[in-house]
Every structure is written in structure tokens, then in C-alpha cells.
Amino acid sequence: MTATVIVGMLCVHLLCFGAMFWLISRRLQGDGLGMDMFALGNAMLGLAYVLQLLGGAPGWSAQSVLNHTLTLCTPLVYAVGGLRFFGRPAPLLRPLLTLALVYTAAQGLAHWLLGPVARYAMLALGMALMFAAMVWALVRVMRGVGRDLRVEMALFALLIAGLGVLNAIKFVRLLQDGLPALDMTLRFQSVFYIYMSFLATVLAPAMIWLVLRRLTDALRAAAEHDPLTQLLNRRGLLAGLEAHFRSRSAGPARLLLLDIDHFKRINDGHGHKAGDLVLQRAAEALRLALRRGDLCSRTGGEEFVVVCFDASDEGAALLAERLRAVIERHQVELPGAKTALRCTVTIGVSQPFHDAGGFDPAMQEADAALYRGKAAGRNRIEWSLGRGGATEAGTLQPA
Ligand SMILES: Nc1nc2c(ncn2[C@@H]2O[C@H](COP(=O)(O)OP(=O)(O)OP(=O)(O)O)[C@@H](O)[C@H]2O)c(=O)[nH]1
């Protein structure tokens, strides 16, 4: 009786959370982070348990065959959902139909050749193997695409491993005791379904938590990046600066303000789209030319801000010259145009600063230096006053 009530509650639980997953997947764009698959998996498992409740005593019947096929196919659907959650495209229909047909045929064969117990034992063994494969996949995910969700993946692996062990025990009990092992009044059956119910209670909110984490991470990334170049925006730059200065051993930072020369002419001569392309290519070139750990951002229009950490005067001068030269050498191929576009930048360099509060004054210093660089002819590096003089294109003059 207890096990039957638990199975009933389990059905309600699976179907309600299935409906919630489906609603969530409808609100999400793209493949809905795999939530539609989790909805389908829950619906299939819920239906399988409804069939079990309606089916009565264990034995051969169309309901029971469908129940077993649905149950065995569910881990596959969840696995496809998991892959889609991590952005891996995974087909569903063909593998699912193949598995369903093959397993239905296998049930007929097992029943016909080995008797009714074989069909139930086959399901228990099949489920144990499926769950073992899921645990193995989750461990791989923890080391790869799901590194940021290591704790959650470990919890999932542990819970699913428990289900695998219970199915393996069920398999052994079926071989030993035959169909009486499935008697719902047995203690093992109660434990089995209480564990299933516990899983359905824990895993469903955990799934919603994973989706929430993914969405909030994506929101934060969008709020801190420039959509055109994918570089940091001002907010992202400030967050990076604060993170750097939180470390006790943080060294001083220096700010380089880069402005593309005569950018308006590019827009006017080749169109706004060409201007956008130039900005994107310049961003790529800057990103590749920077040291790991330095920050690069587009703070507006054709202006980029680079923050380098722990740079001596000499190091900052070398970096500024490298960035200037990289842009000067860079060629941007425009679709349909015979000749590639080239551009140059003028760079204003600030004095070193030692905390995030130094950002605004550094910006003003670099801006004033940049202004002088523009007035002096462009394509050059200008230091904040008190540091050094202007650097003509291609020459170095550290402070
Ligand atoms: N394509 C494109 N153009 C932009 C974007 N943001 C700003 N601009 C344009 O960038 C141009 C900036 O022009 P100005 O401020 O006169 O500067 P400039 O022509 O580069 O001249 P100097 O800086 O003095 O060398 C303007 O025409 C803006 O419309 C953008 O996201 N995409």
C-alpha cells in the first residue's frame, strides 16, 4: 500500500515538474537549455508510472510492455536534455524511436524465450546500465564543459549512482526470487520508490537552479560586454579593475586610451557597416596583442580602453607601441571592395594608479594626453604630463 501511494505521488510530482519544465523551455530562446527534453522525460516517466498503477499484477500485457519501453527510453531523453543544456546539439527522434522499437522487440523475445521474469530483470539491468553510463557522462562533464557547475554535477552523479545501485539490487532479487520480488508490500519496493520520490523532489528544483545560474551568468556577461566587439564595456572594465585591486598583492595599473584616427571618414566613405567591421577587427587585433590578465574594453564609439597591470614605464611604452603598430599593420577586407582598409590609432597613456578609485582620474589624464596626440598629428603615443613626451609612430620614448 505504502509503495503504491508513493508511486501515485511520484506520478503527480513528475507530471507537475514536467509541465513546469515545458513552460520554462517556452520562455527560453534557442533550444531552451534542454528544458523541453526534461519536460518530455518527466512526462514519459510519469506516464510509465500511471501505466504501472493501472496495470495490476506484474505480467505480460500491452500496458506493461509500453511501461517498460517508456521507462528505459527516459534516461536517453534526459541525456539529450543534458547535452543541449551544455550547448551540444543532440538529435532525439531517430535514436529514441530506434531504442523504443529495439527494446519493445527485445521484451517480446525475452518473454518468449526466457519467461516473464526475464523481461523485468532485463529492465532492471538495462536501467542500472543506463544510470551507470549517466554517472560516467556526468563525471566527464564535471571535468569539461560543466566545470563551473562541478558541485551540482557531483550531486547529480551521486544521486543517479544510488538509483543505479537500487536497480542492480532489483535485478539480483528478480533472478533470485522471480516475480514475487516485485510485490509492492515488500520493504525493498518501498525503499526503491521512496528513493525515486526523493530524487524527483531534489532533482527538479536542482534543474531549475541550473537554468537560473545559466541565465544570470548570461545576463551578467551581457551587461559587462559590448555587443559589437565582445570586449568588456565600461561596467565590465570596472568590475575587472575591482577584482584586480581586491587582491592584496595587486600591483599598480596603467590606462591606455586608444582612439581610431579619422574614423568618421571610414563611416562616411564606406558606410556604417564597414565602420562596424573595422571596430570588430580592431578589437580582435587588440585582444590578440594583449598579455593575459590585462583588460581591454570598448567604452564608446571608436574608443578603446586597455588597462595593463604591474607594467613598468618601459613595459607600458612597449605595450602602447605594440598596440599602435598592430592596428597600423592590420588590414580589413571589406566585402566586395578591391583594396583592404587600414587605419591608425592615437594612444593616450595615464600615470599608474593603485586602486579602482584611480580609474576616473586616469581616464582624464589619458584623455588629455590623447587630445594632445590628435592635435600633434595622430598615429602616435602621448603620455600623461609629467611622464614623458609624445612618441612618434614607430619610435619608443618611455617616461
Ligand atoms: N560604424 C560605427 N560608427 C560609430 C560607432 N560609434 C560611433 N561611431 C562614429 O564614429 C565617428 C567618430 O567621429 P569623430 O568623433 O569625429 O572622430 P574621428 O573621425 O575618428 O576623428 P579623430 O578622432 O579626431 O581622429 C562618428 O562618425 C560616429 O558616428 C559605431 O558603433 N559604429
- pLDDT digits over 318-346, tens only? 999 999 999 999 999 888 777 888 999 99
214 plus 279 within the same structural domain = no
Sign of the Cα torsion 137, 143, 149, 150 reads positive
238 plus 215 within the same structural domain = no
Amino acid type, 273: K
Is the beta carbon of 276 within 6 A of some atom in ligand 1?
A: yes
- DSSP 8-state code for residue 69: H
- CA of 319 relative to ligand 1 center, distance in Å: 24
167 plus 38 within the same structural domain = yes
- CA of 300 relative to ligand 1 center, distance in Å: 9
75 plus 169 within the same structural domain = yes
Quick one: pLDDT at residue 247?
A: 83
258 plus 119 within the same structural domain = no
205 plus 251 within the same structural domain = no
Answer whether residue 293 is part of any domain. yes
298 plus 369 within the same structural domain = yes
Cα dist from 324 to 49, 189, 396, whole Å: 67, 72, 11
Q: Which CATH number covers residue 374?
A: 3.30.70.270
- Ligand 1: residue whose CA is nearest its atom 7: 301
Is the beta carbon of 213 within 6 A of some atom in ligand 1?
A: no
Sign of the Cα torsion 90, 91, 92, 98 reads negative
Is the beta carbon of 302 within 6 A of some atom in ligand 1?
A: yes
Q: Is 201 helix (H, G, I), strand (E, B) or coil?
A: helix
270 plus 158 within the same structural domain = no
Domain edge (last residue) among 186, 203, 224:
224
Return d(Cα 372, Cα 289) in angstroms, integer.
25
Answer whether residue 64 is part of any domain. yes
- CA of 302 relative to ligand 1 center, distance in Å: 6
Is the beta carbon of 272 within 6 A of some atom in ligand 1?
A: yes
Is the beta carbon of 374 within 6 A of some atom in ligand 1?
A: yes
Domain edge (last residue) among 200, 224, 248:
224
Is the beta carbon of 261 within 6 A of some atom in ligand 1?
A: yes
Answer whether residue 99 is part of any domain. yes
Cα dist from 120 to 76, 163, 194, 223, 393, whole Å: 19, 16, 20, 53, 80
- CA of 340 relative to ligand 1 center, distance in Å: 19
- CA of 303 relative to ligand 1 center, distance in Å: 9
Is the beta carbon of 267 within 6 A of some atom in ligand 1?
A: yes
Quick one: pLDDT at residue 386?
A: 56
Full residue range of the structural domain in which residue 363 is found: 234-383
- Ligand 1: residue whose CA is nearest its atom 1: 275
- CA of 264 relative to ligand 1 center, distance in Å: 5
Give the model confidence (pLDDT) of 17-41 as tens digits.
999 999 999 988 776 789 999 999 9
Of 66, 12, 1, the C-alpha closest to 196 is 12
239 plus 111 within the same structural domain = no
Return d(Cα 349, Cα 386) in angstroms, integer.
11
187 plus 50 within the same structural domain = yes
Q: Helices 187-224 and 35-55 meet at what angle, rounded to 10?
A: 170
Answer whether residue 13 is part of any domain. yes
* Single pTM value for the model: 0.74
- Ligand 1: residue whose CA is nearest its atom 4: 301
219 plus 247 within the same structural domain = no
Amino acid type, 397: Q
Atom of ligand 1 nearest to the CA of 261: 25
Quick one: pLDDT at residue 348?
A: 96
**How many domains does the structure of the chain reveal?**
2
Q: Return the C-alpha cell found at 112.
A: 518468449
Atom of ligand 1 nearest to the CA of 378: 25
Return d(Cα 21, Cα 34) in angstroms, integer.
9
148 plus 288 within the same structural domain = no
- Residues in the chain with pLDDT < 70? 1, 31, 310, 386-399
Answer whether residue 112 is part of any domain. yes
- DSSP 8-state code for residue 232: B
Answer whether residue 296 is part of any domain. yes
Is the beta carbon of 295 within 6 A of some atom in ligand 1?
A: no
Answer whether residue 354 is part of any domain. yes
Cα dist from 217 to 153, 209, 221, 224, 243, whole Å: 17, 12, 6, 11, 17
Q: Which of 230, 265, 267, 334 to probe ligand 1 with, by most ligand atoms within 8 A of CB?
A: 267
Domain edge (last residue) among 169, 195, 224:
224
- CA of 263 relative to ligand 1 center, distance in Å: 5
Quick one: pLDDT at residue 1?
A: 58
Answer whether residue 395 is part of any domain. no
- CA of 27 relative to ligand 1 center, distance in Å: 38
Atom of ligand 1 nearest to the CA of 272: 1
